[in-house]
Amino acid sequence: MPSALAGLLVADFSRALAGPYAAMLLGDLGAEVVKIERPGGGDEVRGWGPPFVDGVSAYFLAANRNKRSVTLDLGTEAGRQAATALATRADVLVENFRPGTMARLGLGYGELRSANPGLVYCSISGFGSGAGARLPGYDFLLQAVGGLMSVTGPEGGEPTKVGVPIVDVLAALHATVAILAALQHRERTGAGQLVEVNLLSSVLAGLVNQASSYLTAAVVPGPLGNRHPSITPYETLAAADRPLVVAVANDRQFGALCDVLGIAGAAVDSRFATNAARVAHRVELASVLETALASRPAAAWVAEMTASGVPAGVVNTIAEAFALAADLGLDPVAEVARPEGGRVRTTASPLDLSATPVSYRRCPPRLGEHTVEVLAQLANEADIRGERPVDP
């Protein structure tokens, strides 16, 4: 079946996570992605480990499938010439250098749009292209200065980062949405455009209800551990053997929870009868619930709650989470064939399109694996067009 973005060429000048993840999503949707890397070391994420698989970090493998790797020294005229040849033929360019770097190399949007007016040029930065242009943008730093750590972690405890680079992922998703919108605009008008996404704006947007509490009610929230600032019980609770999570979002679900636990009277207790009352008395409510939960293992409670329509679950490890998804028929793991034999396991794309499904065509590439191949293609195209050939 055809892929949604089949025929599109993406020049991926990015490294680390946000840019590569966005480019990979485009590749999953069918685009041909060429990843430009520096000779010798390549994308620094290749060395972010352990664990390593055949000398490449698992981190790199997470964001670079469906790409070809080309090594170019952008500090040389030959390297910039080859990069320009690729960029002028690309439909999309993704880069996450510090603002101004690509322009100094002759590869900025202003330099490329005259030669390639249909180019969708996506720049991802830490703090935008204005006053924050020179500030380095790393996920951990953005989780801190962007406010996310201030609402994460135990109440009264040390601010805590999320266990994955969530700001990079948020920025990548925002960038991908913007790129697809720009491509739709180009479909109507023929004109490309500059797309700018920064990590700080992405994390602020990702604060959703917490940001809204500040903007609309001047509430500056703090950390509550696993509790929710506006809904209760929506937290981890101790059972006889291990914690479980309940995510009760309305009074009906709370009544069902009380019935399961054999404490039906709590549902009509004035302290707990409404969500607002439960939030005001969250500590007393947690004590009541955990007293009841202490009589049985978490899994037994979860089974009974689920059968009664109460959202609940145990706190899974990552291995258990993949097993759960497999048990539910979600096919959470994909495998990509290696050119030299064998296969690479990767997290399956969560995108499920009925007419234009995602595909897994290329395993994450070895550094420079496709340099000769791609530069030869560019040289051949230049020769056909009567242009100065690219030196492979």
Write down the pLDDT at residue 1.
Answer: 73
Q: The domain 9-206+349-385: what is its CATH number?
A: 3.40.50.10540
Write down the pLDDT at residue 383.
Answer: 54
Burial of 19 (0-12, 13-18, 19+ CB in 10 A): buried
- Average pLDDT across each block of 10 residues of the chain; the chain has 392 residues. List them in order: 92 96 98 96 93 92 96 95 96 95 95 96 95 92 97 93 96 98 97 97 96 95 92 96 96 96 96 96 96 96 96 95 96 91 92 94 94 91 59 52
* 222 backbone dihedrals φ, ψ, rounded to 5°: -125, -175
- For 181-202, write each residue's pLDDT tens digit: 999 999 999 999 999 999 999 9
Domain ranges of the chain: 9-206+349-385, 234-324
Instruction: Specify whether domain 234-324 bears CATH 2.40.40.20.
Output: no
* Residues with active-site annotation: 168
Question: What number of CA atoms fall less than 13 Å from residue 280's CA on the CB side?
Answer: 8
d(CA 68, CA 371): 8
Neighbours of 107 (CB within 10 A): 23
Residue from 160, 306, 312, 149 nearest 234 by CA: 312
Written as one string, the DSSP assignment of 157-203 is S-----SS-HHHHHHHHHHHHHHHHHHHHHHHHS--EEEEEEHHHHH
Residue from 84, 79, 38 nearest 367 by CA: 38
Write down the pLDDT at residue 386.
Answer: 55
User: 45, 20 in Cβ contact below 8 A?
Assistant: yes
